[in-house]
Amino acid sequence: MLIKRICNKLSYLYSKHILRHIYNVRYRNYGFRCEGVLMNCQLNIQGAGHKIHIGKGCVLRNTRIEIAGENHTFVIGENTKFYDSGRIRMGDSHGVISIGRNLAVSDIFLTTADVNNKITIGDDCLISAKVIVRGSDGHSIIDDSTGRRINPAKDVTIGDRVWIGYGVTILKGSVIGDDSVIGTNALVSGNIPAHSVAVGFPAKVIKENISWKEERIKS
């Protein structure tokens, strides 16, 4: 029990003082808790009211976390690994990026850029390199006849045990069901049912009633 209290205290001091010194973090009325390991990462966090939590056993390598605005939530579950690189960008206010437990990520870019915009990734996913997930277009498209914006942000939901291949782009409003596979260079812009394989530009389902395993099984 004493050892556990000492470890918890050291973790608290590390996240409060050492990270403040190493990374470009502006502390102003927000909570930052890191229980994992950040290797060659850059943090640029501005604004107020943010909640940032990197879970136990996480390892992030060469990752940029850029948060501006107010009241964002960024959470990574336990034992998730960013093996090569990553970029997280949140703008405006009240955005949420929630990444589950036990993910293996090669290289990913995640961005929310609108009020109440949310990206959710479930547990046990396998994500290859050059993957982009966008909850917003980032800029406004205006209907000239009304003067109104016609491209609002939409949430993105990726289920548990989803395998996302190299170069996949997942656009706003996409929902990918559990245990699905998204093929190389696919463009996802809608709903992909659970237990299916989707490929192409735009992505279309080519096989249903599937599951997948990380290990290679001999035929």
Residues annotated catalytic, as ranges: 139
Phi, psi dihedral angles at 12 (to 5 degrees):
-65, -45
Between CA 23 and CA 27, with CA 24 as vertex, the angle to 5 degrees is 105
Burial (Cβ within 10 Å: 0-12, 13-18, ≥19) of residue 21: exposed
Residue 59 to residue 67: CA distance in whole angstroms: 19
Decide: 196 and 205 in contact? Cβ < 8 Å: yes
Element (H, E) at 188: strand 187-188
Residue 126 to residue 104: CA distance in whole angstroms: 5
Beta strand 187-188 with 169-170 is: parallel
Decide: 198 and 205 in contact? Cβ < 8 Å: yes
Residue 148 to residue 129: CA distance in whole angstroms: 37
DSSP state of 24: -
Tokens of 47: 């604004």
Residue 135 to residue 200: CA distance in whole angstroms: 20
